[in-house]
Chain A
Amino acid sequence: MKTKGGYFHRILDVDLTTGKAMARPFDDEFALRYVGGRGFGARSVADNLAAHGGRVNPLGPENILVVAPGPLTGTYLPAAGKCSFITMSPATGIYADSSMGGSFCVELRQAGYDALVLRGAAPKLSYLWIDEERVQVVPCPELAGKRCLEAEGAIKEAVGDAAVKVISIGPAGENRVLIACITGDWGRQSGRTGTGAVMGSKNLKAIVVRGGKDLPVADVPKMREIGDRGYATLRAHPLFPLWQEQGLMSVIDYANSMGFLPTRNFRDGHFDEAERMDGFVMKSRYKIGDGACFGCPMCCSNICLVREGKYAGTVVEGPEYETAAMLGPDVGVSDFAAILRSNQLCDELGIDTISAGSLIAAVIEGYETGLLSLDDVDGRPLRWGDADAVHELIAKIARREGIGNTLADGSPGVIKRFPQLKPLLLQVKGLEQSAYDCRCAISMALAYGTSDIGAHHARAWTIAKELEMGRDWSLEKKADLVIYHQTIRPLFDMLGVCRLPWIELGFDERYYAEMFEAVTGVPTKLDDLLARSRAIYDLTRRIAVSHGVSRKDDYPPDRTFDHPVETGPLAGHVLSRADYDRILDIYYAKRGWSPDGIPPAE
């Protein structure tokens, strides 16, 4: 099939060691088979592994970092403003991707590229300046140690254009903190799996892009018609106003009332002081404006300001649910202003808020239960709810100081130094679990266990559906739900759009096939796209398997089985290993993988 739009058919390949850049062409067969975004990234990462005998050091120059929007990025479809960062993760050692919203992705496409592949390592700290055809690696020793926002501002000034789009890493990325993120557009993150450390290992402080090309769209009138319908549907949704008002912060109240809000390192699922830090508190006392990713009417980003008190002057784009939960209840903090400060510190120093919250919670619990000595925690006693200690730990992680140096290596690093903390670390495959307690929903446990990047909710978020509709469903049906999520949600990352309109406001998935057809001019059914997504899932699984991953690594954190929820509506809930083993068998069989979780060869 020949495409009439959707692609520039050019991947920008930059060797940072030599500073050489080259636009590599690709054909329609590649485009349609891998679609874009995560699809392009997974293929590139697999090819790069093959070229290096199957192994790369994630922090070595031989690893690649792929930055990939998708064919729908920047089109007239609600929330079509995302791109994926794909690499071999230094945190988990296996395939990883993380996505970021905002405008950077659209600008990269407008520069005429479908994706960017970074390889090698710059001789000294530099930023990459992509001005359509003109691509340069610019040394920037003066930006060493700068926080993300400072760096973004300084670069805009240096290139003399405030409208360029910038993504950058903070000190954490420079220090190869394995939970380092990449920040863009003043406050959007590619948060998980340590993509910021990979950028740091390449001595790449930032990427700056400017472009003005028409996005390739086969049928603009058709796109307008689909988009008009799509935006109208969202606007008419009864929850739309709440989304604009609170964004993902509305989930705090929901999670707490349902009983799965992570509290004190997931010991509990209910936080007594949740009403001090929920979306209503944010709205009435801290929110000063809305922020949105490109083309998104839901504007789920809440720009918050602390006006008075100890944390006065804190301004941050956020928090969203994960951040507020992991740096709030999960470490016992209920002061919303303190949570905002934690959020700001993580964003500006360049650390993933989920992993940071999770690791800090484990250390607090470790100290509190006597598994860690006062010496282990640098002589400062740690207590639940001590916001100052949390802030100090965040800064120490970024600087790799004291215990921060251990936490900077993520769960695997903590286990290595303090093996006794293993049961307290909520992680799968080395990636810390997101802010949904899965003891109440086996499908969510399966989602964490089998997610191809580790315990992240983005691949499959089934907890609400199971609790609201499917408590009595068979394990077969629950496994089907997980596989469906793991198929459609990565598809959004391939198309370069956000999943939230679909998962939160019931946006019909058929829109995406319809839009793909209008944009590429290639007749497409949703099932065609889902089949391609599924093939990518098998591909990323094969990469993991080639790195030793098998059934033994597909289990949720121990706490899921051996520590019942302490209080709240789900008090006493815990999952049984036997049930989990059964659902895992069913899951593998449905995917066509062996009982040990090995997919067939490509």
Chain B
Amino acid sequence: MPRRLAVVPERCSGCRTCEVVCSMARFGVDNPKKSCVRVVTLYPHPVIRMPVVCRQCGEPKCADGCPTNAISRPNGVVKIDPELCVACLKCVDNCPFGAMMAHEDVETPFNCNLCGGQPQCARVCPKQAILFVPTRILGQDHRLATVLNYAHMKEVEFVEEGEKKRLRYAEVERSRDEN
């Protein structure tokens, strides 16, 4: 079953354990700067901690303009062929998500390879902010948020035992909105 990595920024604590395990799995070293996933932190306005990782795009923008056609997507995983790559780093610029990485010690740019189907970042994330899920359930969180936001905007009025009452969904909506 094809799966993808999904990120839930609201849950991320910014601990960067994902970066440590990624660099170990990918390069056999402890070096967060060689990780294919990077946690970006903004503070205090707004407060956001968000892991950025390759989305394995169906039409990878990183491949656009690769002068040697080194980037392909076998089995749904975007891959750079090290034999063809000339390390011009154009792909690093071209990825709209900033998910193509480079490091001076590594010969070619690098991106997430899903650890051969068992992504270590998703395995260790202590907050379940990185998930490895079937493609078809992606967007579920946002669908839920859409429904809750709608419910909140409406503010239900009702009558109970002759008394007029109002029901609001403020608590639920708030956590989505302000994180």
A residues neighboring B (CB under 8 Å)? 74-76, 103, 106, 110, 149, 163, 186-187, 211-215, 217, 220, 223-224, 228, 231, 235, 244, 288-299, 301, 303, 305, 307, 315, 317
* A290 pairs with B13, CB closer than 8 A: yes
* A305 pairs with B103, CB closer than 8 A: no
Interfacial residues of chain B within 65-122, with CB under 8 A of chain A in the complex: 103-105
Q: What number of residue pairs across chains A and B have CB atoms under 8 A from each other?
A: 104
* B31 pairs with A291, CB closer than 8 A: no
Considering the chains assembled together, what is the distance between the CA atoms of A244 and B178 in angstroms?
Answer: 19
* A292 pairs with B31, CB closer than 8 A: no
Is B167 an interface position by the 8 A CB rule? Answer: no
* A220 pairs with B24, CB closer than 8 A: yes
Is B124 an interface position by the 8 A CB rule? Answer: yes
In the complex, chain A residues whose CB is within 8 Å of the CB of B17: 76, 231, 295-297
CB distance from A83 to the nearest CB of B (A): 15
* A103 pairs with B16, CB closer than 8 A: yes
* A76 pairs with B21, CB closer than 8 A: yes
Is B30 an interface position by the 8 A CB rule? Answer: yes
* A291 pairs with B30, CB closer than 8 A: no
Considering the chains assembled together, what is the distance between the CA atoms of A288 and B13 in angstroms?
Answer: 11
In the complex, chain A residues whose CB is within 8 Å of the CB of B13: 244, 289-292, 296, 299, 301
Is B34 an interface position by the 8 A CB rule? Answer: yes
Q: List 26 A-B contacts (CB under 8 A).
A: A74-B20, A75-B20, A76-B30, A110-B31, A110-B33, A212-B33, A212-B34, A212-B103, A212-B104, A212-B105, A214-B29, A214-B34, A215-B29, A217-B29, A220-B28, A288-B179, A289-B13, A291-B13, A291-B49, A294-B16, A295-B17, A295-B20, A296-B15, A296-B17, A299-B13, A301-B13
Which of A110, A186, A223, A293 contacts B43, CB < 8 Å?
A186
Which of A228, A289, A293, A296 contacts B47, CB < 8 Å?
A289
Interfacial residues of chain B within 113-151, with CB under 8 A of chain A in the complex: 124, 126-127
Considering the chains assembled together, what is the distance between the CA atoms of A297 and B21 in angstroms?
Answer: 13
Instruction: Known pairs A74-B32, A297-B17, A299-B13; list 8 more (Cβ under 8 Å).
Output: A76-B30, A213-B31, A214-B29, A220-B29, A289-B47, A291-B13, A294-B16, A295-B17
* A231 pairs with B124, CB closer than 8 A: yes
CB distance from B101 to the nearest CB of A (A): 11
In the complex, chain B residues whose CB is within 8 Å of the CB of A244: 13, 126-127
Residue of A nearest to B44 (CB): A315
Considering the chains assembled together, what is the distance between the CA atoms of A166 and B77 in angstroms?
Answer: 36
Which of A76, A289, A297 contacts B179, CB < 8 Å?
A289
* A293 pairs with B30, CB closer than 8 A: no
Is B60 an interface position by the 8 A CB rule? Answer: no
Which of B20, B24, B31, B127 contacts A290, CB < 8 Å?
B127
CB distance from A190 to the nearest CB of B (A): 18
Size band of the B side of the interface? 20 to 34
* B14 pairs with A291, CB closer than 8 A: yes
CB distance from A419 to the nearest CB of B (A): 42
* A75 pairs with B30, CB closer than 8 A: yes
* B47 pairs with A297, CB closer than 8 A: no
Considering the chains assembled together, what is the distance between the CA atoms of A294 and B13 in angstroms?
Answer: 10
Is B173 an interface position by the 8 A CB rule? Answer: no
* B33 pairs with A292, CB closer than 8 A: no
CB distance from B70 to the nearest CB of A (A): 24
In the complex, chain A residues whose CB is within 8 Å of the CB of B179: 288-289
Residue of A nearest to B120 (CB): A224
Considering the chains assembled together, what is the distance between the CA atoms of A186 and B44 in angstroms?
Answer: 8
Residue of A nearest to B175 (CB): A288
Among B11, B12, B33, B44, find the residue whose CB has the most chain A CB atoms closer than 10 A: B44
Considering the chains assembled together, what is the distance between the CA atoms of A279 and B69 in angstroms?
Answer: 55
Considering the chains assembled together, what is the distance between the CA atoms of A228 and B24 in angstroms?
Answer: 12
CB distance from B60 to the nearest CB of A (A): 24
* B30 pairs with A215, CB closer than 8 A: yes
Interfacial residues of chain B within 4-47, with CB under 8 A of chain A in the complex: 10-17, 20-21, 24, 28-34, 40-41, 43-45, 47
CB distance from A215 to the nearest CB of B (A): 4
Considering the chains assembled together, what is the distance between the CA atoms of A223 and B30 in angstroms?
Answer: 10
Among B12, B126, B175, find the residue whose CB has the most chain A CB atoms closer than 10 A: B126
CB distance from B97 to the nearest CB of A (A): 16
CB distance from B119 to the nearest CB of A (A): 15
Residue of B nearest to A211 (CB): B33
* B45 pairs with A295, CB closer than 8 A: no
* B30 pairs with A297, CB closer than 8 A: no
* B15 pairs with A289, CB closer than 8 A: no
CB distance from A283 to the nearest CB of B (A): 11
In the complex, chain B residues whose CB is within 8 Å of the CB of A307: 178
* B47 pairs with A294, CB closer than 8 A: no
* A292 pairs with B14, CB closer than 8 A: yes
* B45 pairs with A315, CB closer than 8 A: yes
In the complex, chain B residues whose CB is within 8 Å of the CB of A214: 29-31, 34, 105
CB distance from B52 to the nearest CB of A (A): 11
* B44 pairs with A149, CB closer than 8 A: yes
In the complex, chain B residues whose CB is within 8 Å of the CB of A290: 11-13, 127
In the complex, chain A residues whose CB is within 8 Å of the CB of B28: 220
In the complex, chain A residues whose CB is within 8 Å of the CB of B34: 212, 214
CB distance from A386 to the nearest CB of B (A): 27
Q: 6 smallest A-B Cβ distances: which pairs? A: A297-B126, A292-B15, A299-B13, A292-B13, A290-B13, A212-B33
CB distance from A334 to the nearest CB of B (A): 23
Residue of B nearest to A290 (CB): B13
Residue of A nearest to B23 (CB): A214
In the complex, chain B residues whose CB is within 8 Å of the CB of A289: 10, 13, 47, 49, 179
In the complex, chain A residues whose CB is within 8 Å of the CB of B11: 290
In the complex, chain A residues whose CB is within 8 Å of the CB of B40: 163
